[in-house]
Structure 1
Amino acid sequence: MPNDPLLPTPPSWKPLDLTAYLNGAHKPLRPSIMARTDGRCLLYAGMVHAFNGESESCKSMTAQAETARQVMSGNRCVYIDFESDAASVIARLLMLGASPEDIKDNLDYIRPDVDPVSFADENSEWQQLLRNKYTLAVIDGVTEAFAVFGVKSIDNDEVTAWGRKVPRQIAARTGAAVVVVDHVTKSAEGRGRFAIGAQAKMSYLTGAAYMVEIISPVGVGMIGKVALRVGKDRPGQVRPMSGEWRKSDRTQEAAIVTIDSTIANRILFTVDPPQRKSDGNSLPVELMEAISKCVEESATPPSFRKINQLVSGKDETKRAAISLLEADGYLSIITGARNAHEHHLIKPFRAEPSTELIAA
């Protein structure tokens, strides 16, 4: 349950009650928003996510389509738009099937042009936003948002502070699954899983980060397809239900979005499970679990050499599994004595064979 900003909250430096973690009562958070056609979901309530993609990759369209689905279901949403305008967004939501009543009753549309703490009336509206309860919150146009807040996009400290101040606050206070929509670098080489600018953009995400890639063109009179590839999954519940792993950027296909614009003034939107193979590399979830257990059971943080001795499998696959564990916040790797890479446990990783997806 999100905190009410009008009520006192416990100090963040107060030791946490760990009873639920120790007695097994704690259950991992599972995604519950943005359902695929198989019923499995891509977004976590109360967490911050990213849709990253090139210009015209349909990342905003995807966020708007999910907004339309939510308001049509009677769930309240907020769309914070730094890039477009109300006329364009509302027209798109109507074409996606939302009625004027759905939008009026269930959507707050905001087009900010100042940092809310700069003026009393703006701050009052910001505080009101944080008092609301939302299912989905979209922040469209991170680069433009940085300009409004005076954040340098290449400054990791400023980016981290913004991430804590804005999307994390919205997620924590309103309970929404927050989606930030951002651009990637124009050059595909070396792009990896990251949005343009500071690497800290990945660090403030608490849910999943998706690369949005065009499979087939999207346009009026066409049926286009877009892939959502998971590049970060901090709670760890999306990767096991995703497709094969792509070595080049350590992403997996989590969903195929179909955007059907063949009917005049209408857009049909579906989110399907992965159906196409990448380069034949299956995600090593069992190996990831074995490495996690190895680190958990070691008296001291083990080096790769030690892990290599205790865990069976190919060296290359083990290194890839460790890389994924580090990327998703399960392990941290610290250079120790004699330049050995020590593997420190942040939280255990467990594979869930029952949720694995076999790509068609």
Structure 2
Amino acid sequence: MHGRPGCPRQRSTRPSTAPSEWWTVSEAPDSGTGPHRAAAERADESSPHGGTEVARDLGRAWNTADVRLYLRGDLPGIRPTVGRRSDGQCLLYPGSTHSLASEPEAGKSWLALAICVQEIKAGRPVVYLDYEDGPVGISQRLVALGATAEDLAGFTLIHPQDGASGDDVTRLCEAVTAHHVSLVVLDGITEAFTLQGLSNENNQDAASFFGFLPNRLAQAGAAVLLLDHEVKRSNDRGRFALGAGHKLAAIRGAAFKLRSRERFSIGRSGSSELYVVKDRPGAVRRLGTQIGRDDVLVATLNVRSGGPDMVEVSIDPPDLDLHFREEESNKDRIKKEMALALQESQDDQEGGFEKKSDVYGLIQGRTQDKSDALRELIEDDFVSPKPYRLLRPYPIDGDDRDEDRVKDLPAEPGRAS
């Protein structure tokens, strides 16, 4: 196992000019400077030490910066320019880190590769660090998405076989800046942590990893997108992926979740919804609609497959009418399941349940969805408020009751039967 980023490695450190097994597709050029470094150099020329008396006293060790560069137009404003929706609005910020988490088969790799194809077709180079799939799978998807041989000249695929050294990362960052790479994708963050000898569950390791690779790539000028896995159990899903919470805190651009609406694959069409759960600059969140407490729906990923060699992917503005129709249908389903579960448990819990968590445990699903369902059942007099017990059967099919599944319910204490 290798040492942590920035720490001594257990294997010998290679000089930057030596071949590295970390590069398996292309070698990186050796020169170039990032836009932030160039801006800092201009600041030093016009106003050394960051432009203030305090900065002058601190000296260069604290890496101070002259914020007046922004007023002079030398530092661009932070706005998304990568990952274009069909209406022209964009979702990713250049020079910032982003994350995309989903459950399996929701389409996060398809979404990332669709954005890659957007960039290379526009003549902007892309680097894809693939820790999971391999060259064949990535290549097949790119071709299915319509990338030509000419387009793929701008797509650099790296399949890391070993943990990267500091020299490896330096060369990669220099290449990103020198060739004006617009997007870098890291596909398989758990595997990336493991190759570096780090734990995906450890916040300190997460901070080390971000400082070692994603943040440096962003400082080189690219929009950096990390693809991660979501917690398997829907009850445990929060705002971000599995593992250390610092993976969300470290994101300097936007963090997204992708939820499957209709599963798709080659030969089968479907769609997923893209939510932003963190947007540090704030320009992406305004493109969407607030759904629930933390999530903002910003796009719908529509995939139309005409076979193994043709897949059309579009990143569209949210279809809110369809979303809310499906939400209502899902909410009604959860209320039915909860009412039936309460009904079937009445023999064992004649007095009802004292805790909401006990009611939630009767059915599967997200805690927030179950909380909303219980609240509405109480408001509509189907369930009594603490102790929680069913007062009357919930309609199973429209307004008709399924008599085979409904038992005689005892009257609520204090209420006429």
TM-score (norm: length of structure 1): 0.69
Counterpart Cα distance in 2 of 1:68 and 1:246: 32
Contact 2:106 2:263 in 1 (8 A): no
Equivalent of 1:169 in 212, 216, 237 = 216
- Unaligned residue ranges in structure 2 (runs of 5+): 1-33, 45-59, 329-417
Structure-to-structure mapping, 1:10-159, within 5 angstroms:
11=60, 13-19=62-68, 28-103=77-152, 105-117=153-165, 122=168, 125-126=171-172, 128-132=174-178, 133-159=180-206
State the alpha-carbon separation in 2 of the partners of residues 69 and 162 from structure 1: 28
Compute the displacement of 1:14 (Å): 3.8
Structure 1 residue identity aligned to 2:203: N
Map 1:194-233 onto structure 2 (within 5 A): 194-233=240-279
Q: What's 1:271 paired with? A: 315
CA–CA separation in structure 2 for the residues paired with 1:181 and 1:79: 11
Distance of 2:170 and 2:290 partners within structure 1: 47
1:306 is aligned to none
Match of 2:376 in 1: none
CA contact (8 A) 1:81 1:139 kept: yes
The residue that corresponds to 1:254 in the other structure is 298
The amino acid of 1:258's aligned partner reads N
Indicate if the aligned counterparts of 1:28 and 1:235 stay in contact, CA closer than 8 A.
Answer: no
Change (3 A) 1:22 1:264: closer
Q: Give the letter for the 1:163 counterpart.
A: F
Give the secondary structure class of the aligned counterpart of 1:67: helix
Contact kept in structure 1, 2:169 and 2:213, CA below 8 Å: no
Asked if the contact 1:4/1:131 (under 8 Å) is kept, the reply is no
Name the residue aligned to 2:345. none
The corresponding residue for 1:160 is 207
The amino acid of 1:99's aligned partner reads: T
Larger Rg: 2
Distance in 1 of aligned mates of 2:227 and 2:306: 26
CA distance 1:22–1:30, shift in 2 (3 Å):
closer
Q: How far apart in 2 are the matches of 1:147 and 1:72?
A: 33
Distance 2:76 2:35 in 1: 17
**1:75–1:134 CA contact under 8 A, matched in 2:** yes
Q: Does 1:188 align with 2:221?
A: no
Would you say 1:2 and 2:35 are equivalent positions? yes
Maintained 8 Å contact 1:69/1:98: no
Calculate percent identity across the aligned residue pairs: 30
2:224 — aligned with what? 178
2:160 partner amino acid = P
- The count of aligned residue pairs is 273
Offset at 1:72? 1.6
**Structure 1 gap ranges (5+):** 281-360
Cα distance change, pair 12–265 in 1 and its aligned pair in 2 (3 A): farther
Code of the residue aligned with 1:107 in structure 2: it is F
Aligned letter for 2:158?
Answer: I
CA contact (8 A) 1:3 1:172 kept: yes
Question: What is the Cα deviation at residue 17 of structure 1?
Answer: 2.1
CA 256–152 in structure 1, closer or farther in 2 if over 3 Å, else same:
same
Could you tell me the TM-score, scaled by structure 2's length? Answer: 0.60
1:198 deviation in Å? 0.3
Answer whether contact 1:43 1:177 (CA < 8 A) is retained. yes
Alpha-carbon distance in structure 1 between the residues aligned to 2:144 and 2:219: 31
Indicate if the aligned counterparts of 1:213 and 1:228 stay in contact, CA closer than 8 A: yes
Check 1:12–1:255 CA distance in 2 against 1; reply closer, same or farther (3 A cut). farther
Distance in 2 of aligned mates of 1:59 and 1:70: 17
RMSD: 2.7
